[in-house]
Structure 1
Amino acid sequence: MEQRDPEQDGGLRSEIWEALYDFFLAEHERNLESVAELGVSPGDLKALMRLVPGQGEPMRALADMWRCDASTVTWIVDRLEKHGYVERQAHPTDRRVKVVVLSGHGEDLRARVLRQLHRPPAALSELSQADLRVLRRLSARLKPEDG
């Protein structure tokens, strides 16, 4: 059995995480640029990724989910509604509460955005099939249990 040095393990984990984090940040910038071509702002992107097609979300729940204040949610929802991507509707059991629902146009945009975001980065093309299989196996182990 392999002996583990906690100090060495910590340094190795830090080195790996730094490389992954830098990679994800660079890819995030690429993603923002690619969806900007579709007319999607960073706030719009966050909203489109968090709204589930066919499911309404109360404005307060959106503020909690997006970790922002209610006025920011109102601003983002106003913008998306103006473009026809979302609709405000009455809550099914509490008419005092407004829920936000993706419109058909919003669901189409969300699907296009997801296709853009799920395009593999060029860096993966530089890896061998063996490396890709190892990366797939390891990344599956890193996936959150609820995700």
Structure 2
Amino acid sequence: MRAPDSSRLSAEIWRVLYDFVLVQHERHLAAAAEAGVSPGDLKTLVRLVPGEPQPMRALADQLHCDASTVTWIVDRLEKRGLVERRPVPTDRRVKAVVLSEAGERVRTELLTRINQPPAALAALSERDLVALREVAWKLR
């Protein structure tokens, strides 16, 4: 049997990795649902850094969406007491978003859940994990 060429091998690896990522994405969605937040809320909460107000426009850029979508998400999070809007001291026309104490707690809980390694990794040997780590850093 002949070894597959590099492009076929790359395609096979990508399919397997993508399937793995999709399964993990489902875990993240389940964590969000259990916390009572939408996938968009989850993305927003994990991008906000505790104690660092983020201008709405910058948040929209990070989330790759328009300002009206961020306004809608922030409205929902603010209603739940997870974020607060604050004026930016240098330009009071600009609003910044900051996590509330409750938002910081929910964010921490979500990050703890989504950063928990999948069971499939725990099943690998230490040798395989070391090799995977090396390859993962190269891919990054």
Same fold, TM exceeding 0.5? yes
- 1:12 aligned residue (9, 21, 37): 9
- SS of 1:29 mapped into structure 2: helix
- SS of 1:37 mapped into structure 2: helix
Partner in structure 1 of residue 116 of structure 2:
119
**Conserved? CA contact 1:35–1:116, under 8 Å:** no
**Structure 1 residue 125 displacement after superposition:** 2.3
After superposition, residues 48-59 of structure 1 pair within 5 angstroms as 48-59=45-56
Distance in 1, matches of 2:105 and 2:13, equals 37
Q: Deviations over 1:87-124 (max 9, x none)?
A: 00000200111111111211111111000001111111
**Conserved? CA contact 1:84–1:103, under 8 Å:** yes
Partner in structure 2 of residue 93 of structure 1:
90
Distance in 2, matches of 1:57 and 1:31, equals 23
**Structure 1 residue 51 displacement after superposition:** 1.1
State the 4+ residue runs in structure 1 displaced beyond 4 angstroms.
none
**Conserved? CA contact 2:28–2:114, under 8 Å:** yes
Give the gaps of 5 or more residues in structure 1: none
Partner in structure 1 of residue 58 of structure 2:
61
Matched, 1:32 2:29: yes
- SS of 2:102 mapped into structure 1: helix
AA aligned opposite 1:36: A
Partner in structure 2 of residue 132 of structure 1:
129
What percent of counterpart residues are identical? Answer: 59
- TM-score w.r.t. length of structure 1: 0.87
**Conserved? CA contact 2:27–2:114, under 8 Å:** no
Q: CA RMSD in A?
A: 1.6
Distance in 2, matches of 1:63 and 1:120, equals 29
Partner in structure 2 of residue 47 of structure 1:
44
Aligned residues: 138
Matched, 1:104 2:101: yes
- TM-score w.r.t. length of structure 2: 0.91
Give the gaps of 5 or more residues in structure 2: none
- SS of 1:96 mapped into structure 2: strand
